[in-house]
Each structure stands twice: as C-alpha cells, then as structure tokens.
Chain A
Amino acid sequence: MIETGGIDPDTWNRWHVVGCHDELPTDGPRTTRLLGRAITVARRGAGADVRLGDGTPLPAQIAYGYVWTSLGTPGPLFELPEYAEADRRNLNGCSFGVRTSPPRAIENFLDMAHFPFVHTGILGEEDHPDVKDYDVAISADGREVVASNCLFYQPKAAAASTGGAEVSYRYRVPHPWCAVLYKDSPVKPGRMDVIALFIQPCGEEEIIANLALFILDDDTPLPALRRFQQQIFVQDKPILENQMPRRLPLYPRADSPVRADKASIAYRRWLRQLGTTYGVLS
C-alpha cells in the first residue's frame, strides 16, 4: 500500500497544475508547494522537470500552457480542445496566491450571484442582480459537472467589450480543482471565449489560482488582457480569504449553511462521489 499521508486516492492520483510554463524562471528551478509538500519545477526546453524537495522525480507534462504533475499514478488529463483552435489566443491571465481551499475557489468561480456586488460595473450591475434559472448536471460518465443555459447581464464582459450585453455562459468542472467557463465572444458572434481556473493546491487552505484565457481577440494587447483579468481576480481575493471555514463543507451543517446555488450543490455532490477529502469538511 502506498503511503499518501492521509490524502484521498482521487487527489493523490490526479494531475495538478504547478504553474504557467512560459512564466517559469530561466535561471533555475522554481520552488513551490503541492499538497503540503515542497517541490521544484524547472524548465526543460518545451517541457519541465518536477521533483519533490528531496530530489525524487515526479511525473510531468505540459498541457494548455501549464505544467502538470502528480504525487501518484495519474490517468489522462481532462480534454480542453479549444486550446488547439488556430484562431484563439492562449495566455495566462494571472496567477495569485490565495489563503483558501481549492474547492472554495472553484465554488466562487461557478457563482454568478456575486458578479453585481463584487465585480460591479464589469461582470455585473447592482440593478441587474438576478441569476436566471439554468441547467446543471453531473455528466453520465461521472467525469465532470456541467452547467449550461446561464444568462447574465454584464456591463463589460471582456477586455474587448464595447458596452453592456446579456451574455450566455456555460461551465464545465472536469477536475475537482479546475473549472472552465465558456462565454459569448464580444468579437466573434456565435463563438465563445474560454476562461479556465486551474488551481494549484499548495495546501488544504493555501492555493495558487491560475486564470487561463483561450480567447477570440486578436487586437487587445497582452498587458491589457492580463490587466483586465488581474483586476477582476483581485476583487475575488478578499472575498475568498474571508470565507470561513476555509475548507468547503460537503454536507449542510448548522454552523455553516450551504448556499442554495444549484451549481454549488452539484459540485459538492460530485466531490462526495469522487471521495475527495482534501480541502473539504466532510
């Protein structure tokens, strides 16, 4: 039996993101943390070398612009076919350290109700606070949570927006700590921008949140795209850090009522199915 130090098997055997490949230092390995352990991540040309603090090599792969590793024996990483579409720009919007658990960050990313109050004037407006009903389900194969038919009025949905619009949304959660958002492109009607949140689980209450953009916008300069994303994420950061308990309660409890948001309820049910115990209260 493999010694996992109490980490549940699903978490132990998953691929986890450990940074944007382009942003790795060129002058030596980056020291960071994964699931409570010190690790190093070094650039190796188009690849990467990932090791535990004691030098033990870990599996490594580059996918969607990021380095992924695992403490266990990982299966295939989830699919994100939009990454390979020729007309998209793929970039790391921002990476920030946040004092919260991985699932709290995913729950916040799925929650449209906070847009008008936290991202006022950008992703929402206080006089358009209503979240219209939408569909949510765990996929038939049990591999992801999908929320669809979400509609929300946004004053400035993307860096390229020229005005407010009713924006349609779709979410996938194909990994306990990775969520992918599809939203109407303000530039190419009928197509969708893709924004993903890839969480590096440094510890149970300590994460690095990476926002990946796969977008249909040829014109906005890179610094302006990153600036837009940083401004939004930094509005979420104090909300996340003030949520107590920091670990996500998987069952309703008297002292921490579970909000009745459909996506959040389905997400929690999925984590229970996976047997995830890391970063949660069960």
Chain B
Amino acid sequence: MITLHDYDLSAEGYAVRLFLALLGQDYSLVPVEYYPAREHEGEAFRALNPLASLPVLVEGDLVLTEVAGILTYLAARHGGADWYPAGDAAQLGRIGDGLALAARLAASAGAVRLADGMMLPLDGAAARAEAKRLLRVIDEHLWFGEAAGNDWLCPGPRPSIADIACFPHIVLAEEGDIPLIDYPAIRRWLDRVRRLPGFVVMPGVFGA
C-alpha cells in the first residue's frame, strides 16, 4: 500500500496526487500541516524526511522525498510502457529535463505563490521574473510542438511525468500574480492536461 504524507495546498503534493489518480492507484493520505503549524519541520516528520520537505511517498521499505523521484518510481513501477519508455534513452533524458524544469518552476512560481498567500519572506520580484522567463521558454516550446503535431512537453503521442510535474506550478501561477494570459500555448496545454481521463483537482484548481 502506498502512503502519501502531504499538505492539501502543496503544488508538489498535487503533482503526486494527480499522477496517482491518472494511474488509478489507491493510496492512503497522511495530512501534514505545512502552514501555519509547520509540522514538516517538527521532529516527528524529520525522522521520516530529514530534508523537512513535502510530499513524502512510502511504499513498503521505500521512502521517496522528491517529486522527481516519486513520479519516476510510480511511472516505472505502476505506469507500464505508457508512462515509462524504458528502452528509449532520448525520451528518458527529455523526461529528466522536464522534471528538473518542474523543480525550477517550484523554486520561482511555486515559491512566490506560497509566499504571497502565507505571508512568508521572499524576493517576490526576482521569483516572478524567473517564473516568467521559464514560462516564455515553455510557451514557445509548446507552440512549436503543436505546429509539429506534439501536444506534450516531451514529443510523442502521450503525456509524460514531465507534464504532470510541471502542471501544478503553472496552473497555480496566477495565485502568485503571474498572469497566464500572455502564454496561449501554455493555456491550451493546461486544458489538455485537464481533459486527461482520471484528472483530479486541488483547492484553487478547476477542472475542464
């Protein structure tokens, strides 16, 4: 049985919950109060994850503490060839790039969203500028992809975990005062993700 330690309003946690839903995987959720109690910084949680970050996925003896690792594991373990192209070295490399891109989005768009909503200290202007730089690159990438018949971040007929990892930070960017109106290809891509069978929302995200 998969156990997910998570906070409802965590965009990273939502990436994992969304992927579990798309896979149709059951799991049990252990809520951790990131705000205001900062339960993830407490001793009990650090015993599970010394990095004091969310989410954490546990299955048997396996403990995973980063979205990239969690999604990779779930894709390889439960996703089959649809989600884990085991023999395709180039595609695996692209997916790895996409997961790292999601981490950059988390550190910019994701950080400013949390800081604004939860009154945390942050250089909001710098984070917003970096988020907009990333969104511009992603929008162009998707626009050229569409022109070549590709609907997803990595070329191919199906979405990958790169899409799942990036989606939460982008769909929630407006909470950090980053308007998505300037990124039309991104907005079309968000709608494609929303229409995936099994798609679930989180508070602040609306369905198709």
A residues with CB within 8 A of B: 23, 32, 92, 94-99, 208, 223-224, 226-227, 230-232, 234-235, 237-238, 241-242
Contacts and interface: CB of A to CB of B under 8 A. Distances in A.
Contact of B33 (A23, A97, A226, A242): A226
Task: Describe A's contact surface by its main secondary structure.
Answer: helix
Contacts of B206: 238
A98 B116 CA distance: 8
A123 to B, nearest CB: 13
A57 B174 CA distance: 36
Contacts of A99: 116, 177
B204 A234 contact: yes
Contact of A235 (B33, B119, B174, B204): B204
A237 B37 contact: no
Nearest to A227: B31
B119 A234 contact: no
Contacts of A234: 8-9, 117, 203-204
Contacts of B35: 230
B204 A238 contact: yes
B203 A208 contact: no
Interface of B: 8-9, 31, 33, 35-37, 39, 116-119, 174-175, 177, 203-204, 206
Contacts of B39: 223
A23 B36 contact: yes
A227 B33 contact: yes
A227 B37 contact: no
A97 B203 contact: no
B177 A97 contact: no
A238 to B, nearest CB: 6
Nearest to A202: B119
B78 to A, nearest CB: 27
Contacts of A95: 36, 119
Contacts of A231: 8, 203
Contacts of A224: 31
B150 to A, nearest CB: 29
A234 B117 CA distance: 9
B194 to A, nearest CB: 15
Given A97-B116, A230-B9, A241 B174 contact: yes
Contacts of A232: 203
A223 B33 contact: yes
